[in-house]
Amino acid sequence: MIKRAVAMAERIGDDELLGQEIEALAIHHLAYGEIRETAKFALKAAELLRRAGGLWYLVDDLLFAEGALFMTGRTAESLALWHERQPLAERLGRVELRWGFDASATETLLRTGDIHSFELFWKSAAEHALSLQDPGSIWQTHINLGVVHFWKGRWQEALDSFEEAEKNEAAGAFSGWAPAFILLTRAYIGDGRGALAILRRGPSAAPEPESHSASSLLFPMLKAARSSGLGLTGLLGIIRESRSMRTRSFLPRRGRRITNGTWTVLLAAVEGLAIAGEKAEAAKLYPVALEAIKTGALFRPYDFRLLDTLAGIAAGAGENWTQAEEHFRTALRRAEELPHAIEQPEARRWYAWMLLERNAPGDPEKARQLLTEALEMYRRIGMPKHVELADALLAQAQRA
């Protein structure tokens, strides 16, 4: 249906209409976690909307492009769009859109490891979301603040924040973002059974308030796209998905496309299951990690865990040692090149975990080196619970 609308807009020769319809294609790809295609179509739509002077629609589209470019590692291009979008959004009174994703705040976090500044950003966003009384914005800010709590070692506060986010999470293609991090946090606090239960039960979407349609509770970007006239086209696939999401398990099934929310849950499950000692279950998700990498994305949403790290965890859980080591080496290299200050110790910790699991000659010594480096990094950026995790692995390495 969207492709047919694009063809009609091309025949008419209306650049603004064509830009809107191509943006709809970007949204559709985003709904299924196809990040490379999201960036491609959002950039194409932006060209048309700029040329036509469709600034209202352009603000929406730039946010999609900004986020997709960042997720594929095209950071400089993403920041360039941020510099274009921010003043335009403020001039048009569209400032609420900036709380969906902000390339500048995220780039600063990854480059510096300044979690405190990132927390202040999202606290301000949370106040704005409350002033809007918009469930979608509240959902987003709770997830992001939960991630900050998790990094800073406030795991119970993180769990509370993620569970609050879930109360505002609607059914649809993005359902699963909050449960993904509930699963992960439960695994880290020692509730492996609770983590597994989330994976198997599927979404638990919030009930619709009488004053809102289901789509109005979606991610603020999608809400904005709908209000700008994209609802019947750009949101079509998402609306279709929402009808069946409430009864689905998050576990992948043959012949069923994986939605964005489900991707996030499965990628969180790789790490959560490994932390919970469920290595056989984590290993089953190795093909999922490889498929996620093929989408062009470098990161898991929200906490920006490198997919290379997750693939290494899944491969290591299945004792595919050669593949695991290759993934971890890629993760270490990528974390330095981006740069990604939070992933630098995280990739080291998980690489050391794999080496201790394998326990080949020389592995304990290599693990000790990686963990010593990780501990210094964790202490510098302020991740106390992760210091404890690395300390425990280092003690294991010293005994080996």
d(CA 56, CA 43): 16
Q: Supply the pTM of this predicted model.
A: 0.89
d(CA 327, CA 311): 6
Given a cut of 50, whether residue 234 has pLDDT beyond it is no
pLDDT at position 215, please?
36
- Top pLDDT among 58 and 206 is at 58
d(CA 260, CA 237): 12
Average pLDDT over residues 277-306: 97
Are the beta carbons of 258 and 33 closer than 8 angstroms? yes
pLDDT at position 254, please?
62
Burial class (CB in 10 A: 0-12, 13-18, 19+), 254: exposed
Are the beta carbons of 316 and 354 closer than 8 angstroms? yes
Given a cut of 90, whether residue 297 has pLDDT beyond it is yes
pLDDT at position 225, please?
42
Q: Transcribe 33-57 into DSSP letters.
A: T-HHHHHHHHHHHHHHHHHHT-HHH
Confidence category of residue 269, pLDDT binned at 50, 70, 90: very high
Could you give the percent of the chain with pLDDT greater than 90? Answer: 74
- Please name which of 245, 198, 206, 178 lies closest in space to residue 32, comparing C-alpha atoms: 245
d(CA 319, CA 11): 55
d(CA 171, CA 193): 24
Domain boundaries, the chain: 2-245, 306-399
Residue in this structure with the two tokens 């200050």, named with its chain if needed: 341
Cα atoms in the Cβ-side hemisphere of radius 13 Å centred on 358: 26
User: What pLDDT, in 10s, does the model give residues 100-122?
Assistant: 689 999 999 999 999 999 999 99
A 10 A CB-CB count for 198 gives 26
Given a cut of 80, whether residue 46 has pLDDT beyond it is yes
Instruction: Provide the CATH topology of domain 306-399.
Output: 1.25.40
Are the beta carbons of 350 and 305 closer than 8 angstroms? no
Average pLDDT over residues 62-66: 95
Given a cut of 60, whether residue 242 has pLDDT beyond it is no
Given this chain, do its domains 2-245 and 306-399 carry the same CATH topology?
A: yes
d(CA 153, CA 151): 5
pLDDT at position 388, please?
98
User: What pLDDT, in 10s, does the model give residues 316-333?
Assistant: 999 999 999 999 999 999
Are the beta carbons of 110 and 341 closer than 8 angstroms? yes
In 3-state terms, what secondary structure has residue 94? coil
d(CA 228, CA 128): 21
A 10 A CB-CB count for 342 gives 24
* Dihedral angle over CA of 23, 28, 33, 34, nearest 10: -70
Average pLDDT over residues 24-43: 96
Confidence category of residue 95, pLDDT binned at 50, 70, 90: low
Tell me which of 1.25.40.10, 1.20.58.220, 3.40.50.2300, 3.10.28.10 is the CATH number of domain 2-245: 1.25.40.10
Given a cut of 70, whether residue 230 has pLDDT beyond it is no
Mean pLDDT of the chain: 88
- Top pLDDT among 175 and 94 is at 175
Tokens of 257: 């496309």
Start-end of H helices in 189-320: 192-201, 220-225, 231-234, 236-245, 260-275, 279-283, 286-294, 307-317
